[in-house]
Amino acid sequence: MIKELIIDSSPNGATIALLQDKQLVELHKEQVSNNYTVGDIYLGRIKKIMPSLNAAFVDVGYEKDAFLHYLDLGPQVQSLLKLTKQVRSGGYQSKLLDGFKLEADINKGGKISEILTKNQLIPVQIAKEPISTKGPRLSSDLSIAGRYVVLVPFSEAISISKKIKSNTERTRLRKVVESIKPKHFGVIIRTVSEGKGVDELQKDLLDLISKWEQFITKLPSVEPSKKVLGEIGRTSTILRDILNPDFQHIYTNDNSMFEEIRSYVHEISPDMENIVRLHKHKEPIFDHFGIEKQIKGAFGKTVNLAGGAYLVIEHTEALHVIDVNSGNRTASKENQEENAYQVNKEAAKEIARQLRLRDMGGIVVIDFIDMHKPQNRKELFDFLRAEMQYDRAKHTILPPSKFGLVQITRQRVRPEMNIVTSEVCPTCNGTGTIRPTILLMDDIENNFNYILTEQNEKGITLCVHPYIEAYIKKGIYNRQMKWFIKYGQWIKVKSNPSYQITEFHFFSSKDEEIKL
């Protein structure tokens, strides 16, 4: 599988497209003004305790208060609160946790009112960005992610990714991390750490420790509800999480972005630095790589499949519904079951892509075409699970219900990617109505009065729809002849089949459009 990353940079941010074998599978937007990215750490102020929800509303500077549930406090929240108080009062000088005494873990079934009080300050991390009418979702179980490891303060545990299967490798990684991790810090070893040496792991861990030290340095002076430590940009985050030898090219159209990405790739994977390229063509980068066309084809309500079938995707606040239709694909009665199975497989592959592409989260209900053989239903379910394995978001897929519906729950941490693919009608400008056609000639003649009389233009050409041209030139004593008598000069009339029925334009003798 060949992967490419295409980055379209603009003053407002960047749009990042991930291609697999030239097909668009992920689309991300990184906005300059987005201050609430997953992973950012803020110094929150408790605004309201809600005992009935066992949660608190926290002020992090967003227009809506953020939500912090008791289960998201983390077992060592008492240690975090104690450290925050000591650091802000000047009672704790060290930047690490060597001389810090940890508090006992909180009770999993406890009450938030026993831990937090109104107006209390607490460092919190964005777990879910603001979505729809809701503010950010928070966690006070802080962690700082790197390329190979994740640093977890107030813990001694070392966790290893379940995707690393070799017991020998798991033991090696545990021993390496145990020898280099600081006291009172836990570490999560990521899948990409497999086969990496001590130097690479140590460098990554030292970078994370440096970020923690930045956090401790800023904590005494930062104002409540302000950001203390920011996550790296969306582009770097994607590279950090998914960069592997399958990547063939990374293209960007901005010089500073090019240097930034090349520097970051050199830092995390020096042997892949040469895959970063600067797009120098005059053609827009997304048009050059065919991404714009793929976006237009993939983000509408109806998504067509190669075999003639299509998907209808409906969105609501609570869930997403996807209906699979066979379309113009036909089959004999004897082959109806096989035809349904093939259409469903083709749809399952596209649905797995659509979930990643649109970043659809929450509950997704899929209505596949009915199949009568249990074996076919099982194979479709297994095929869908196999296609979904490439999805980095946490998800759960339930087997088909007795109604033939498949339900998926998918982690939602950012607003869904929603791109409007329909265009405004050039004739009515989106109003659904146009000027009366009976007044069209009056409009044209009013413009003649301005162009020929006031502007004193000579040798102009009127360009209209072919139907209107035929109407103007019909008969011997036609409209064109009347204009010649009225204005004292011959006005050329040409047709353009691409024009709307009431669209018209004027051109000078030099064939330049006359702007009105």
Residue 125 has pLDDT above 80, yes or no: yes
pLDDT at 295: 86
Domain boundary among 201, 229, 257: 229
Kindly state whether residue 421 falls inside one of the protein's structural domains. no
The token pair that represents 11 in the structure block = 């003053």
Tell me the C-alpha distance between 262 and 283, whole Å: 23
Residues 367 and 450 in one domain: no
Residues 460 and 382 in one domain: no
The token pair that represents 508 in the structure block = 């000078």
Whether residue 194 contacts residue 169, with contact meaning beta carbons closer than 8 Å, is answered with yes
The token pair that represents 131 in the structure block = 């979505």
pLDDT at 251: 92
pLDDT at 34: 64
Kindly state whether residue 416 falls inside one of the protein's structural domains. no
Residue 21, SS3?
Answer: coil
Residue 132 has pLDDT above 80, yes or no: no
Q: Is the dihedral of CA 426, 429, 433, 436 positive or negative?
A: negative
Residues 372 and 503 in one domain: no
Whether residue 184 contacts residue 100, with contact meaning beta carbons closer than 8 Å, is answered with yes
Banded model confidence at residue 33, pLDDT cuts 50, 70, 90: low
- What residues does 144 pair with on adjacent strands? 151
Kindly state whether residue 283 falls inside one of the protein's structural domains. yes
Residues 144 and 218 in one domain: yes
Residues 59 and 22 in one domain: no
Residues 445 and 500 in one domain: yes
Tell me the C-alpha distance between 188 and 177, whole Å: 10
304: which residues sit within 8 A by CB, 6+ positions away?
297, 310, 327
Banded model confidence at residue 305, pLDDT cuts 50, 70, 90: confident
- Between the alpha carbon of residue 451 and those of residues 53, 472, 478, 500, 506, the distances in Å are 71, 19, 21, 22, 9
The token pair that represents 452 in the structure block = 């020929």
Among 35-49, 233-247, 388-402, whose mean pLDDT is lowest? 233-247
Greatest Cα pair distance, the chain, in angstroms, is 102
| CA within 13 Å, CB half, 443 | 14
Domain boundary among 244, 271, 291: 291
Banded model confidence at residue 312, pLDDT cuts 50, 70, 90: very high
Kind of pairing between the strands at 185-189 and 158-160:
parallel
Banded model confidence at residue 222, pLDDT cuts 50, 70, 90: very high
Kindly state whether residue 244 falls inside one of the protein's structural domains. yes
Backbone torsions φ then ψ of 294, nearest 5 degrees:
-65, -40
- pTM of the entire structure? 0.69
Using only the alpha carbons of the chain, give its radius of gyration: 31
Banded model confidence at residue 134, pLDDT cuts 50, 70, 90: confident
pLDDT at 369: 92
Tell me the C-alpha distance between 509 and 458, whole Å: 7
Domain boundary among 191, 214, 229: 229
Kindly state whether residue 426 falls inside one of the protein's structural domains. no
Q: What is the pLDDT of residues 479-512, one digit of tens each?
A: 999 999 988 899 999 998 888 888 899 999 888 8
Residues 99 and 248 in one domain: no
CA 309 to chain centre: 26
46: which residues sit within 8 A by CB, 6+ positions away?
56, 57, 58, 59, 116, 117, 118, 119, 120, 121, 122
Residues 157 and 117 in one domain: yes
Q: What is the pLDDT of residues 9-26, one digit of tens each?
A: 887 778 889 998 889 998
pLDDT at 372: 87
Mean pLDDT of the chain: 88
- Selection from 431, 425, 4 nearest residue 238 by Cα: 4
Kindly state whether residue 79 falls inside one of the protein's structural domains. yes
Tell me the C-alpha distance between 98 and 213, whole Å: 13
Tell me the C-alpha distance between 26 and 11, whole Å: 22
- What residues does 124 pair with on adjacent strands? 42
Q: How many residues does the chain have?
A: 516
Tell me the C-alpha distance between 149 and 396, whole Å: 25
Q: Is the dihedral of CA 224, 226, 227, 228 positive or negative?
A: negative
pLDDT at 427: 66
pLDDT at 440: 85
Mean pLDDT for the stretch of residues 281-308: 86
Kindly state whether residue 488 falls inside one of the protein's structural domains. yes
Residues 265 and 339 in one domain: no
CATH classification at residue 239: 3.30.420.60
Number of domain units in the chain: 4
Q: Hey, which bits of 91-222 come out as E strands?
A: 121-128, 137-139, 144-145, 149-153, 158-160, 185-189
- At residue 446, what is the residue type? N
Kindly state whether residue 423 falls inside one of the protein's structural domains. no
Residues 47 and 155 in one domain: yes
DSSP assignment string, 504-515: EEEE-TTS-B--
Residues 62 and 149 in one domain: yes
Whether residue 486 contacts residue 466, with contact meaning beta carbons closer than 8 Å, is answered with no
Residues 85 and 151 in one domain: yes
Domain that holds residue 222: 40-229
Banded model confidence at residue 363, pLDDT cuts 50, 70, 90: very high
